[in-house]
């Protein structure tokens, strides 16, 4: 993998991980455009590289929200920091839907003619969409629709509680589909649940910490195989660019939420989705 390609994908990851436009969807489409994924069919992309990029954006969250994370840590031994301590429990609850989706086994018939079945998880089935850029482009349009949803729903404002955190966790879980924005779907779920926009955005970003850490744990075996003298340089280049751009993207989203312009990202998703459908349909 060329370093310049890794940097480009890292920049895309840093922007799209936190801007509500789907990092997985943009990474898949970018890799197809750069020839880093087989097109239209073929083997899977470099999953380990994608996890390394997510580690870069994870560091962005840790740096940007360090004061909040430190307060949550202190709350474990400080009695009067009840709100921070409560958020720890809510984050644990919000993580459950994605965990259930990833580990719950189901029987899937891979060949209807022979009746051969295999045991996979729902997460495995969702990830098969990564190899179809047209499907990814369609899901970007779905993300756009999700971002506009709060404008058409009557919302009763309430404090962030177990219902809101669980709804945001479900929003995060469905974002396993490439093209569905993790931040977009989780923040939208929080807004529809009546959570204050700023708190919904902050909670969504903090939710990414266990989600990304979990993805790394699941891919540890592949890490051993992929890390070598040829991959270390592009991996690090991609992670560093994702980290630096990620901090910028977090700041942009927090500013957009504060100014009530979060839904404006929907129009970009519509444009990118339609462009992707047209381009990849013609290219096929």
Mean pLDDT value across residues 210-228 = 73
Count CA atoms closer than 13 A to 114's CA, side-chain side. Answer: 6
Identify the pLDDT of residue 155: 79
Helical segments of 120-181, H only: 122-127, 133-148, 162-174
Identify the pLDDT of residue 207: 92
Distance between CA atoms of residues 195 and 189, nearest Å: 9
Distance between CA atoms of residues 249 and 12, nearest Å: 10
Mean pLDDT value across residues 158-172 = 92
Mean pLDDT value across residues 154-170 = 89
Q: What is the pLDDT of residues 121-132, one digit of tens each?
A: 666 666 666 667
Identify the pLDDT of residue 112: 56
Identify the pLDDT of residue 111: 55
% of the chain at pLDDT higher than 70: 82
Mean pLDDT value across residues 33-50 = 62
Identify the pLDDT of residue 41: 46
Q: Where are the domains of the chain?
A: 3-283
% of the chain at pLDDT higher than 90: 44
The yes-or-no verdict on residue 108 having pLDDT over 80 is: no
Q: Is the Cβ–Cβ distance between 29 and 15 less than 8 Å?
A: no
Count CA atoms closer than 13 A to 130's CA, side-chain side. Answer: 23
Residue 74 pLDDT class (50, 70, 90 cuts):
very high
Mean residue pLDDT of the chain comes to 84
Q: Which residues of 235-244 are buried (b: 16+ CB within 10 A; e: fewer)?
A: bebbbbbbbe
How far from 108 is each of 112, 122, 218, 267, CA to CA, in Å? 10, 9, 21, 36
Helix and strand totals (H; E) in the chain: 13, 2
Mean pLDDT value across residues 86-100 = 92
Q: What is the pLDDT of residues 254-271, one digit of tens each?
A: 999 988 888 899 999 999
Mean pLDDT value across residues 160-164 = 91
């Amino acid at each position: 993998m060329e370093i310049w390609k890794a940097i480009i994908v890292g920049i895309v990851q840093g922007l799209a991980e936190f801007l509500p436009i789907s990092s997985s969807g943009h990474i898949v489409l970018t890799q197809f455009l750069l020839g880093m994924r087989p097109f239209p069919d073929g083997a899977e992309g470099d999953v380990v590289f994608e996890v390394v990029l997510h580690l870069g954006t994870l560091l962005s969250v840790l740096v940007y929200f360090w004061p909040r994370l430190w307060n949550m840590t202190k709350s474990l031994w400080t009695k009067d920091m009840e709100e921070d301590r409560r958020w720890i429990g809510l984050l644990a609850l919000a993580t459950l839907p994605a965990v259930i989706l990833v580990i719950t086994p189901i029987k899937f018939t891979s060949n209807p003619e022979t009746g051969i079945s295999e045991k996979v998880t729902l997460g495995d089935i969702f990830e098969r969409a990564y190899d179809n850029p047209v499907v990814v482009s369609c899901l970007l349009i779905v993300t756009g629709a999700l971002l506009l949803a709060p404008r058409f729903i009557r919302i009763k404002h309430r404090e962030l509680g177990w219902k809101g955190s669980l709804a945001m966790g479900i929003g995060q879980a469905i974002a396993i589909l490439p093209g569905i924005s993790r931040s977009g779907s989780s923040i939208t779920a929080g807004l529809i649940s009546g959570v204050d926009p700023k708190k919904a955005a902050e909670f969504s970003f903090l939710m990414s910490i266990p989600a990304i850490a979990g993805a790394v744990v699941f891919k540890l075996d592949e890490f051993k195989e992929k890390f070598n003298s040829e991959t270390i340089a592009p991996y690090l280049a991609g992670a560093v660019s994702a980290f630096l751009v990620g901090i910028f993207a977090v700041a942009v989203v927090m500013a957009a939420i504060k100014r009530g312009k979060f839904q404006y990202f929907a129009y970009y998703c519509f444009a990118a989705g339609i462009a992707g459908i047209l381009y990849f349909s013609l290219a096929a």
